[in-house]
């Protein structure tokens, strides 16, 4: 049995753990198995850049972040675009066939899963494992890397609390989450943030300022705002997709948190500071929960390989690991529910979402 393996898209802490769970299960239960590791994601599959893995390659990596195979971003929307005569899909199929692979296992997020589904529809045997710190893959309660990212963001917010309290400042902390706000919501609640701004809940800056002023009246001279990188004002939310994209591009990479700060400064007198957690949320060691659940993801992936059950995405539902058809998840995002229990409970606690 020859199994191809690649990690695609943004890195996260539990990629190595998941590959270890898959590989160790296959080595232990399949008499003759060879794992081919493609380097730097789908690019490795396109250009035939790979290495033949050995059992020792998967040893000692359970606590190592990042990915031993490397990764890259290959946007799904460009997969079928032929550039300089290079057909990406045809090249990936050729590599798969030339290596006589029995299947390909893809560890990736939403874009990578769409590409995995594309290859499945092209006739390749594909299995996908849900990787993304954003936890926005449709069909699974959990994606590996998510809890580790929450831990880092929560710790960062905890540390900001002490300096904010010491100087009576309002701190706006940018948390990763371009399209969805799961990390920001979870870390915001866990750290006791006073305001949480999410892409799914357009904010009214007047209501944000009202929440901060109320804290001041209650004798609390500092405030913490957890702001997802995709947070959006109610005014911008009314724009067309094209109009809003132009606004984002005009920021030239500058965080939306600075816009929130500038808007808020018009309504409050407190000193405002902005801080960005950034890529640290993807880095470092995987937390214990990620190690445990990612191992289970890898084991289930191996089960699918051994059963020749392809075209599937491994998922976690109600703490049970199973699999669903790739095409059920591909192209869908799992958003924060603005009326869901997490948001509703947070509001009862007194957290403002600016709406």
Residue 188, domain CATH: 3.40.50.460
pLDDT, tens digit (0-9, with 9 covering 90-100), for 316-338: 999 999 999 999 999 999 999 99
Domain edge (last residue) among 282, 314, 339: 282
pLDDT, tens digit (0-9, with 9 covering 90-100), for 178-189: 999 999 999 999
Please report which confidence band the pLDDT of residue 198 belongs to, taking 50, 70 and 90 as the band edges. very high
Do residues 153 and 265 both lie within one domain?
A: yes
Q: Given a cut of 90, is residue 254 above it in pLDDT?
A: no
Rg of the chain in Å (alpha carbons): 22
Do residues 201 and 238 both lie within one domain?
A: yes
Question: Which of these is catalytic: 11, 134, 136, 194?
Answer: 134
Q: Is residue 351 part of a domain?
A: no
Q: Which residues are CB-neighbours of 249 under 8 A, at least 6 positions away?
A: none
Q: Is residue 341 part of a domain?
A: no
Do residues 51 and 7 both lie within one domain?
A: yes
Quote the pLDDT of residue 59.
96
Do residues 303 and 176 both lie within one domain?
A: no
CA dihedral 342, 348, 350, 351 (to 10 degrees): 20
pTM above threshold 0.85: yes
In the DSSP assignment, the letter for residue 286 is P
Do residues 325 and 213 both lie within one domain?
A: no
Question: Considering only CA atoms, which of 67, 118, 75, 114 is closest in space to residue 294?
Answer: 67
Query: Beta 320-325 vs 312-317: how paired, if at all?
Result: antiparallel
134 in active site: yes
CA geometry: angle 113, 279, 159, nearest 5 deg = 130
Residue 291, domain CATH: 3.40.50.450
pLDDT, tens digit (0-9, with 9 covering 90-100), for 6-45: 999 999 999 999 999 999 999 999 999 999 999 999 999 9
Q: Is residue 344 part of a domain?
A: no
Q: Given a cut of 90, is residue 252 above it in pLDDT?
A: no
Euclidean distance between CA atoms 254 and 276, whole angstroms: 11
Do residues 229 and 244 both lie within one domain?
A: yes
Do residues 245 and 293 both lie within one domain?
A: no
What is the sign, positive or negative, of the torsion defined by CA atoms of 117, 25, 28, 63?
A: positive
Q: Given a cut of 90, is residue 253 above it in pLDDT?
A: no
Do residues 52 and 177 both lie within one domain?
A: no
Do residues 248 and 311 both lie within one domain?
A: no
Query: Beta 169-175 vs 126-130: how paired, if at all?
Result: unpaired
Euclidean distance between CA atoms 252 and 22, whole angstroms: 41
| CA neighbours closer than 13 Å in the CB half-sphere of residue 49 | 12
Do residues 160 and 270 both lie within one domain?
A: yes
Do residues 120 and 10 both lie within one domain?
A: yes
Quote the pLDDT of residue 139.
97
Do residues 209 and 322 both lie within one domain?
A: no
Range of the structural domain that residue 303 is part of: 2-145+286-329
Q: Is residue 215 part of a domain?
A: yes
Q: Is residue 336 part of a domain?
A: no
Q: Is residue 27 part of a domain?
A: yes
Domain edge (last residue) among 282, 310, 338: 282
For the chain, how many structural domains are there in total?
Answer: 2
Q: Is residue 121 part of a domain?
A: yes
Q: Is residue 340 part of a domain?
A: no
Q: Given a cut of 90, is residue 248 above it in pLDDT?
A: no
């Amino acid at each position: 049995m020859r199994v191809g393996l690649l990690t695609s898209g943004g890195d996260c802490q539990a990629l190595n753990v998941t590959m270890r769970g898959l590989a160790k299960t296959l080595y232990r239960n399949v008499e003759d198995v060879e794992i081919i590791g493609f380097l730097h994601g789908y690019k490795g599959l396109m250009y035939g850049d790979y290495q033949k893995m050995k059992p020792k390659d998967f040893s000692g990596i359970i606590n190592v972040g990042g990915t031993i195979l490397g990764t890259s971003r290959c946007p799904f929307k460009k997969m079928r675009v032929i550039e300089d005569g290079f057909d990406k899909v045809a090249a990936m199929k050729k590599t798969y066939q030339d290596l006589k692979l029995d299947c390909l296992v893809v560890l990736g997020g939403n874009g990578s899963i769409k590409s995995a589904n594309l290859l499945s529809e092209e006739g390749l045997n594909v299995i996908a494992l849900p990787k993304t710190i954003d936890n926005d893959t449709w069909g699974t309660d959990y994606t590996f890397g998510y809890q580790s990212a929450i831990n880092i963001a929560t710790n960062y917010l905890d540390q900001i609390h002490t300096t904010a309290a010491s100087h009576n400042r309002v701190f706006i902390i940018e948390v990763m989450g371009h399209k969805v706000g799961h990390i920001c919501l979870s870390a915001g609640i866990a750290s006791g943030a006073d305001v949480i701004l999410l892409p799914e809940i357009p904010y009214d800056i007047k209501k944000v300022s009202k929440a901060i002023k109320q804290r001041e009246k209650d004798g609390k001279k500092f405030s913490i705002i957890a702001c997802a990188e995709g947070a959006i004002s109610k005014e911008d939310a009314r724009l067309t997709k094209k109009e809003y994209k132009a606004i984002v591009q005009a920021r030239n990479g500058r965080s939306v948190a600075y816009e929130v700060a500038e808007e808020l400064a018009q309504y409050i007198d407190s000193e405002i500071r902005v801080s960005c957690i950034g890529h640290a949320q993807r880095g470092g060691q995987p937390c214990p929960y990620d190690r445990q659940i990612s191992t289970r993801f890898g084991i289930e992936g191996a089960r699918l390989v051994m059963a020749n059950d392809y075209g599937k995405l491994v998922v976690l539902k109600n703490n049970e690991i199973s699999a669903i058809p790739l095409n059920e998840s591909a192209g869908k995002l799992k958003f924060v529910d603005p009326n869901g229990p997490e948001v509703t409970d947070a509001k009862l606690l007194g957290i403002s979402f600016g709406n």
